[in-house]
């Protein structure tokens, strides 16, 4: 048996990030940024108004009040998007809308509500010749200054950022229409097993619903990459070869479930072991002991495709995915966060198989312990039983118990991998 760390190091050592390419912003969502984004434009790009109203010289209106409004000549109109630059001389005002450039001479904006003019379109649309100012703003009031947020040359996004909506809008605002990114890997998911029936279909004796396809599909999506459903195959080698041949060249990685232990019909092992490319190992973890990993040759000049052969038990799939596949996908993707580990305390005791790192689906108690640590307890009385697929839905986290520990007692410190 090899340790989890040894197997993970072997997996990560075999992988490289997908090559970067330049894509329009609209296609960059969920990709990992492959360059630093340095502002090409300032934000805001020019001094502009924060209010619909009148751009004024603050000195002109310092004494304005409702009882004694100050009268100004309206010498221009600057809607947002306008290129007009009417000058505000002493005694003058320019009508201005939110976001429009503050005209030369003006140093403050009076909201329309502080004037004698009607707000809004309709009656408010016609440009008056004169405006009465009922309250004088201080210099700079309601003016948003150029570069207040970002100046040209500022670092806005660091390479390695996983691009979400706010990152893309930041890039747009500083002058980018496209970005250099690593594309989201496409990950094929394939279940194997003669007993599998599509979810919702009637079962004959000995058959079970294929829940792993759905599980793997969702886990791939939760990792921020694209899932490609390769379906389910029975335990016949030809069926598996056909699906793999079709998938190679179409996907950047493949995750399979089942067929990797000691069974006479373990089809993944039967097909892939003789090729030599996939290494089958026993990893000192529970669940998830039997694992396969290797690189499959793709047709033509396409790069080799990593294949993760996970054991068929559903909780084994779940644990193996979080412990091994997720970090591997982050490497292929060129970034992405590791699943966070948190210090917790066991609310009850349980046993752990000696010599294997145990991953127990746990729920978090609502109340922390006296020192503020979160308290956890196994999600089911079955502990880390790898077949307890329905109860897996209850879990908030996976408690990680080191191989040298064979029992956890109530009050013991444990680390938990936050999964939801």
Q: Which stretch binds ligand LQZAQKY5 (CB under 6 A): 83-91, 154-162, 207-215, 358-366?
A: 207-215
Class of residue 275 by CB neighbours under 10 A (exposed 0-12, middle 13-18, buried 19+): exposed
**Judged by CB under 6 A, does residue 386 bind ligand LQZAQKY5?**
yes
Do the Cβ atoms of 184 and 226 come closer than 8 Å?
A: yes
- Between strands 278-282 and 305-310, the pairing is unpaired
Contact pick of 144, 167, 289, 356 for ligand LQZAQKY5 (by CB under 6 A): 289
Nearer to ligand LQZAQKY5, 126 or 262 (CB): 262
Contact status: 358 vs ligand MOO (CB under 6 A): no
List for the chain the helix, strand, coil content (%; round to 5).
Answer: 20, 30, 50
Residue 258 within binding range of ligand LQZAQKY5, rule CB under 6 A: yes
Q: Tell me if 262 contacts ligand LQZAQKY5 by CB under 6 A.
A: yes
Instruction: Tell me phi and psi for residue 54, to 5 degrees.
Output: -135, 130
Q: How far apart are CA 71 and CA 116, in angstroms?
A: 10
Please identify, using beta-carbon distances, which residue of 260 and 305 lies nearer to ligand MOO.
260
- 70: closest CA among 59, 80, 78? 59
* In contact, 254 and 306? CB cutoff 8 Å: yes
Q: Does 316 sit near ligand LQZAQKY5 (CB under 6 A)?
A: yes
What beta strand segments (E) does 212-277 contain? 226-233, 253-257
Beta-carbon neighbour count of residue 367 at 10 Å?
8
The DSSP letter of residue 63 is T
Number of residues that bind ligand MOO (CB under 6 A): 8
Q: Which of 111, 314, 334, 335 binds ligand LQZAQKY5 (CB under 6 A)?
A: 314
Q: Which residue, 233 or 399, is less far from ligand LQZAQKY5 as judged by CB? A: 233
* Least Cβ distance, residue 305 to ligand LQZAQKY5 (angstroms): 20
The minimum distance between CB 362 and ligand LQZAQKY5, in angstroms, equals 20
Q: Does 292 bind ligand LQZAQKY5 (CB under 6 A)?
A: no
Q: Which residues 6+ apart lie within 8 Å of 113 measured at CB? A: 53, 119
Check residue 316 for interaction with ligand MOO (CB under 6 A).
Answer: yes
The residue ranges that bind ligand LQZAQKY5 (CB under 6 A) are 191, 193, 195-196, 208, 210-213, 257-263, 266, 287, 289-290, 311-314, 316, 386-387
């Amino acid at each position: 048996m090899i340790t989890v760390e040894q197997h993970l190091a072997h997996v990560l050592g075999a992988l490289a990030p997908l090559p970067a390419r330049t894509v329009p912003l609209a296609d960059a969502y969920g990709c990992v940024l492959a360059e630093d984004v340095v502002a090409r434009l300032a934000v805001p790009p020019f001094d502009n108004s924060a209010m619909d109203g009148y751009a004024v010289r603050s000195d002109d209106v310092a004494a304005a009040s409702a009882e004694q409004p100050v009268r100004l000549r309206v010498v221009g109109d600057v809607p947002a998007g306008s290129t007009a630059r009417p000058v505000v001389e002493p005694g003058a005002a320019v009508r201005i809308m939110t976001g429009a450039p503050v005209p030369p001479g003006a140093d403050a904006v009076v909201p329309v509500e502080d004037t004698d003019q009607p707000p809004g379109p309709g009656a408010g649309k016609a440009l008056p010749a004169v405006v009465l100012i009922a309250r004088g703003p201080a210099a700079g009031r309601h003016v948003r200054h150029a570069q207040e947020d970002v100046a040209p040359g500022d670092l806005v996004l660091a390479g390695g950022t996983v691009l979400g909506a706010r990152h893309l809008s930041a890039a747009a605002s500083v002058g980018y229409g496209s970005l250099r990114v690593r594309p989201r890997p496409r990950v094929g998911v394939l279940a194997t097993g003669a007993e599998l029936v599509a979810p919702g279909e009637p079962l004959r004796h000995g058959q079970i619903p294929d829940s792993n396809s759905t599980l793997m599909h969702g886990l791939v999506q939760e990792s921020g990459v694209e899932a490609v459903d390769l379906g389910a195959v029975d335990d016949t080698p030809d069926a598996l070869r056909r699906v793999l041949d079709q998938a190679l060249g179409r996907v950047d990685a493949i995750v399979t479930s089942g067929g990797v232990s000691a069974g006479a019909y373990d089809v993944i092992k039967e097909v892939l072991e003789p090729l030599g490319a996939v290494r089958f190992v026993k990893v000192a973890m529970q669940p998830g002991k039997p694992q396969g990993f290797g690189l499959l040759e793709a047709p033509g000049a396409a790069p080799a495709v990593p294949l993760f052969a996970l054991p068929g038990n559903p909780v084994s799939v779940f644990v193996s995915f979080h412990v091994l596949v997720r970090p591997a996908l982050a490497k292929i993707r060129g970034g992405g966060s590791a699943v966070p580990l948190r210090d917790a305390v066991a609310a009850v005791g349980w046993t752990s198989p000696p010599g294997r790192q145990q991953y127990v689906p746990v729920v978090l108690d609502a109340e922390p312990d006296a020192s503020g640590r979160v308290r956890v307890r196994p999600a089911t009385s079955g502990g880390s039983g790898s077949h307890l697929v329905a109860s897996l839905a209850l879990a908030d986290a996976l408690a990680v118990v080191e191989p040298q520990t064979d029992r956890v007692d109530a009050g013991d410190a444990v680390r938990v991998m936050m999964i939801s």
